[in-house]
Amino acid sequence: MMRVRGASMREAGIDDGDVVLVDRAVKPSHGHVVVAVVDGEFTVKRLWKRGINLKLQAANPTYPDILPRDGQTVEVWGVVTTAIKSMRV
């Protein structure tokens, strides 16, 4: 389980403060919401993968997609299977 910080996935129904369940045994594929590690930083994004081409897509138009650059370390760490909503008042 991981707590999400930020609003980059809000249009996918994942908001700041929500908890996501991450399954590291599921093979990530195109369209999955994933937890990735980019240069040592965790991020939650939608995986776009075609052949060897990969990008991590935000579900909020105010956030840029992540397109790996030469020398950048990107590891898909696990697949998000469930989001638990925070019901803060």
pLDDT number for residue 8: 97
- Catalytic entry in 8, 27, 49, 85: 8
**In order of start, what are the domains of the chain with their CATH numbers?**
2-84 (2.10.109.10)
60 within 8 A of 17, measured Cβ to Cβ: no
User: Is 45 marked active-site?
Assistant: yes
Give residue 41's identity as a one-letter amino acid code: E
Q: State the pLDDT confidence band at 89, using cuts at 50, 70 and 90.
A: low
Residue tagged active-site, from 27, 29, 45, 55: 45
pLDDT for 88 beyond 80: no
Active site includes 29? no
* Short-list 11, 38, 33, 8, CA closest to 22: 33
Question: Burial of 87 by CB count in 10 Å (0-12 exposed, 13-18 middle, 19+ buried)?
Answer: exposed
47 neighbors 56 (Cβ within 8 angstroms): yes
pLDDT tens sequence across 15-70? 999 999 999 999 999 999 999 999 999 999 999 999 888 999 999 999 999 999 88
